[in-house]
Amino acid sequence: MSMIVTEGLSKRYRETAALSDLSLEIRPGEVFGLLGPNGSGKTTTIRLLLGLIRPSSGRATVSGYDCWRRSFEVRQLVSYLPGELRMFGALTGYGMLKFLSDLRGGEGLDRAAAIAEQVMKLDIDRKVRTYSTGMKQKLALAQAFADPVDILILDEPTSALDPSARNDVLKLVGAARAAGQTVIFSGHVLSEVEAVADRVAIMRRGRLMHIEDMHARRALRMLLARFADSVPGDWPAELELTLRRRVDEQTALFEHRGPVPALMAWLAALRVEEVAVGTEDLRALYDLYHGPNVDDAA
């Protein structure tokens, strides 16, 4: 059973479509990345899941609960880190954690304080108004990771953090997954999403463009080969080789997901002049939908 399901989920503001016909399923215990530029619909999706806004059409469920009609039950299962973080400046860091914990019946306060002090290195006796933006984000992250919930929704969780704190957050995401929590990780930093996500959804202008299985992607090898003769037209299916792009008559770029020995044997049987094997990061995939060569009107 999927933990989160959306079916034709849409949100319109008068003439503007903030989200159009989003259908996806997120499995229990997976880290699901949401990628896309500002205005692509990531935050709208998250706010719909939390029941903060009502869908114009379609529906979303979390653990079987309708996100709008049964929003209270949904929020019992979810902890949320807002992208635009505002806090009560008059409270101390500890006071803020206590307030947020008390809204959940007082659960998780000790763990939140421990994460804030020991992992995030925060002085939680200081007033929140004296915190920098990054420190506030760390405090909110401490609370999110401490909440005893099934689902974490993190909207740009590292946007204000220094590099070492970013690494700490990625480790905490990994720990959450290991503990069986489902994580939605929305962000702009491709390398971070790539590092932690099991699957990644790429969004553009309120539409879901592509979902990538990151485990399969990590197994992907890119093979650039120049043949003495022309590029071969076919090859054994067990190679799991796909022609990505023909560079010229003799040179081609392949995607390879199969066993390496079979590939090597196949190449050895051909007259190959040059060969390069590498991997492909998420950027290449992302650029298919948001790169400089993408038609804006598309």
Q: Check binding of 76 to other proteins (CB under 8 A).
A: yes
Beta carbons within 8 Å of 224's beta carbon, 6+ residues apart:
247, 251, 252, 253, 254, 275, 276, 277, 278
CB of 202 to other proteins, least distance (A): 22
Opening angle at CA 119, ends 114 and 125, nearest 5: 55
Q: Check binding of 183 to other proteins (CB under 8 A).
A: no
Q: Which two tokens stand for residue 254?
A: 């392949």
Q: Which two tokens stand for residue 176?
A: 């959450």
List 82, 108, 187, 206, residue binding other proteins (CB under 8 A): 82
Q: Check binding of 91 to other proteins (CB under 8 A).
A: yes
Distance CA 127, CA 254 (A): 56
In terms of CB distance, is 100 or 169 closer to other proteins?
100
Among the residue ranges 23-31, 86-94, 175-183, 189-197, the one whose residues contact other proteins (CB under 8 A): 86-94
In terms of CB distance, is 99 or 235 closer to other proteins?
99
> Which residues within the stretch 279-298 sit at the binding site for other proteins (CB under 8 A)?
none
Q: Which two tokens stand for residue 74?
A: 């949904």
CB of 103 to other proteins, least distance (A): 4
List 37, 106, 148, 232, residue binding other proteins (CB under 8 A): 106
> Which residues within the stretch 45-64 sit at the binding site for other proteins (CB under 8 A)?
47, 50, 52-54
List 14, 15, 103, 180, residue binding other proteins (CB under 8 A): 103
Q: Check binding of 137 to other proteins (CB under 8 A).
A: no
Q: Check binding of 186 to other proteins (CB under 8 A).
A: no
Asked if 205 contacts 18 with a C-beta cutoff of 8 angstroms, the reply is no
Q: Which two tokens stand for residue 224?
A: 């650039």
Give me the numbers of helices (H) and strands (E) for the chain, helices first please: 10, 14
In terms of CB distance, is 88 or 232 closer to other proteins?
88
Alpha helices in the chain (DSSP H): 42-49, 71-77, 93-102, 109-114, 133-146, 163-178, 190-196, 214-218, 260-268, 282-290
Q: Which two tokens stand for residue 145?
A: 């990771």
Q: Check binding of 224 to other proteins (CB under 8 A).
A: no
Nearest C-alpha neighbor of 119 from the set 177, 170, 188, 80? 170
CB of 72 to other proteins, least distance (A): 5
CA dihedral 131, 132, 136, 138 (to 10 degrees): -110
Q: Check binding of 87 to other proteins (CB under 8 A).
A: yes
Where do contacts with other proteins occur on this chain (CB under 8 A)?
Answer: 43, 47, 50, 52-54, 71-72, 75-76, 78-80, 82, 84-88, 90-91, 99-100, 102-106, 140
